[in-house]
Amino acid sequence: MTTETVRADDGATAEVRLYRRTDDPAAPVLVCMPAMGTRAVSYTPLAEALAGAGFQVALGELRGQGTSSVQAGRGVRYGYHEIVAYDFPALFRTVAAAFPGAPRHLLGHSLGGQLGTLYLSQEPHMAAGAVLVGAPSCHYRGWPFPRSLGMLAGFRLAAAFSSAYGYFPGRRIGVLGNDSAQILRDMATQVRTGRYDVPSSPVDFEPWLAKLDLPVLAVTVKGDGMAPPAGVRGLSDKLTSARVTHWELVLGDGVPGSRHYGWIRDHASLVERVRTFVDRA
């Protein structure tokens, strides 16, 4: 494993961890992107398993987390726009240069999958396909009643609190990680409207998502309350030109913690399914 620095056009930097196969430099590359508030290093067990299964892997970082030069705090502003317009293009350019001639696939978890899909709707030539794990549209109607109303109220409250406080102090309150107030405003808007037409971005991504013509594997994790089946379909149903395959991942009974994150370690069946998907793609 080696690391390289990804430099976005606005000057922000982050490290990407690269798992190369010197015996097969043309092997497919999985560009793994984390969930909201989650550091890339948390996905090391998954990256190592994918590498052991014959893939090459690029483990990226979301802005504001881990090795990112931008850290959430008062006065630090970034939202979906900066991640989609600056960070993802810089990451995929770096990966393309590091693995010349190897096909690239997005493997995005939760918000990493959502924003990765928005990026690919703008530059679909940069990937041969996408694997979206627990990546829902956050529209509140994707959750069963009455939790749907809790989602709607909770994100409105979180966005308002973040604006007043200056950022979202997730680590302090024990909910996800620290993040920008703008991220919370963008997410609260998408929770309310169901549309990827958010305050930070000048782009209405809805028509672009409909034009995205790539093979997509949409993975629902059984029992994942943070990405229920209707929420996952809420995103994949926007991809009307894509060739979408749905698959449910069932974790072992002894997996500790949230099902939304448990698959990162209980990953054997996912790795096998991704192998099949990439070979067909």
pLDDT of residue 254: 72
Report the C-alpha gap between 256 and 259 in whole angstroms: 8
The tokens describing 202, both together, are 């000048």
Least-confidence region, from 32-41, 45-54, 180-189, 250-259: 250-259
Report the C-alpha gap between 59 and 46 in whole angstroms: 10
Distances (CA, A) of 22 to 4, 16, 79, 107, 250: 17, 18, 37, 22, 33
Question: 9 in helix, strand or coil?
Answer: coil
What's at 184, amino acid-wise?
L
pLDDT of residue 76: 95
Report the C-alpha gap between 162 and 155 in whole angstroms: 10
Could you report the per-residue pLDDT of 69-117, keeping only the tens digit for each? 999 999 899 999 999 999 999 999 999 999 999 999 999 999 999 999 9
In this prediction the pTM is 0.97
The domains of the chain, with CATH numbers, are: 2-139+205-280 (3.40.50.1820)
DSSP string spanning 93-107? Answer: HHHHHHSTT--EEEE
Could you report the per-residue pLDDT of 199-249, keeping only the tens digit for each? 999 999 999 999 999 999 999 999 999 999 999 999 999 999 999 999 999
For the chain, the straight-line distance linking the first and the last C-alpha, in angstroms and rounded, comes to: 26
Instruction: Give the other-Cβ count within 10 Å of 270's Cβ.
Output: 23
Would you give the distance in Å from CA 109 to the centre of its chain?
4
Strand pairing partners for 243?
A: 215
Report the C-alpha gap between 223 and 220 in whole angstroms: 9
Q: Characterize 206-223 residue by residue with b for buried, 16 or more Cβ atoms within 10 angstroms of its Cβ, and e for exposed.
A: eebbeebebbbbbbbbee
| Alpha-helical regions (H) of the chain | 44-52, 80-82, 88-98, 111-122, 147-165, 170-173, 181-193, 206-211, 229-236, 259-262, 268-280
Could you report the per-residue pLDDT of 14-54, keeping only the tens digit for each? 999 999 999 999 999 999 999 999 999 999 999 999 999 99
The tokens describing 269, both together, are 């069946």
Residue (of 34, 234, 235) closest to 118 by Cα position: 235
